[in-house]
Amino acid sequence: MSVEEPVKDVDVSMQDDEEQEEQLDTEKIKILPGATEDGTAASFQILDEDHTLGNALRYIIMKNPDVEFCGYSIPHPSETKLNIRIQTYGDMTAVEALHKGLDDLSDMCTHIEDKFAEKINKADYPKEEP
């Protein structure tokens, strides 16, 4: 029994891991063919996103000084697919640049939200059309 029990435990935890993996959206983003060997340049395809995220993300990734190029396109208007291409100067991989871009974007949203809330709470703005 004492030998079997730990084995059981491992099984249970592995099942948990698998369940978590299933909850994650594995279809959302994938790397398109045409990435360089070292990973400094790659294209990604994101599903169910449009210009709203595409253009904002493109802008924020381009702000990264390590990124040489970032562009996006929506290959066909009736498919909800977004292709985004990232090329770096070589100091970081395209995946790292994408992740940094997403982090920067959410940090920026937090900042805008805080600043706007601060201004609203102060309520020192006129209520009528100036």
Partner 1 sequence: MVDNIVHIEQDRVTNTVSNDYPDTSISNAFRRIMISEVPSVAAEQVYIFNNTSVIQDEVLAHRIGLIPLKIDPDLLNWVDNSVDESDKFTDANTVVMTLDVSCTKNPNAPKNSTDPKELYRNSSIYARDLKFEPQGNQLENFKNPIEPADPDILLAKLRPGQEISLRIHCVLGIGSDHAKFSPVSTASYRLLPTIDIIEPIRGDDAKKFQKCFPTGVIGINNGEAFVKDSRRDTVSREVLRHEEFNGKVKLGRKRNHFIFNVESTGAMSPEEIFFKSVRILKNKAEYLRNCPIGR
Binding mask 51-90 for partner 1 (x = CB under 8 A): xxx-xxxxxx--x---------------------------
Is 126 a binder of partner 1 (CB under 8 A)? yes
To partner 1, the closest distance from the beta carbon of 11 in angstroms equals 23
At 31 the three-state DSSP class reads strand
Q: Which stretch binds partner 1 (CB under 8 A): 5-13, 85-93, 121-129?
A: 121-129
40, 41, 43, 44: which one binds partner 1 (CB under 8 A): 44
Q: Which two tokens stand for residue 19?
A: 């369940």
Q: Which two tokens stand for residue 116?
A: 């706007």
Is 28 a binder of partner 1 (CB under 8 A)? yes
Return d(Cα 114, Cα 128) in angstroms, integer.
Answer: 24
18, 19, 24, 76: which one binds partner 1 (CB under 8 A): 24
Is 25 a binder of partner 1 (CB under 8 A)? yes
Q: Report how far apart, in Å, the C-alpha atoms of 122 and of each of 64, 82, 110, 126 are.
A: 34, 40, 18, 12
Burial of 124 (0-12, 13-18, 19+ CB in 10 A): exposed
For tokens 């790397």, name the residue.
31
Residue numbers at the binding site for partner 1 (CB under 8 A): 24-31, 44, 46, 49-53, 55-60, 63, 95, 99, 102-103, 105-106, 108-113, 115-117, 119-120, 125-130
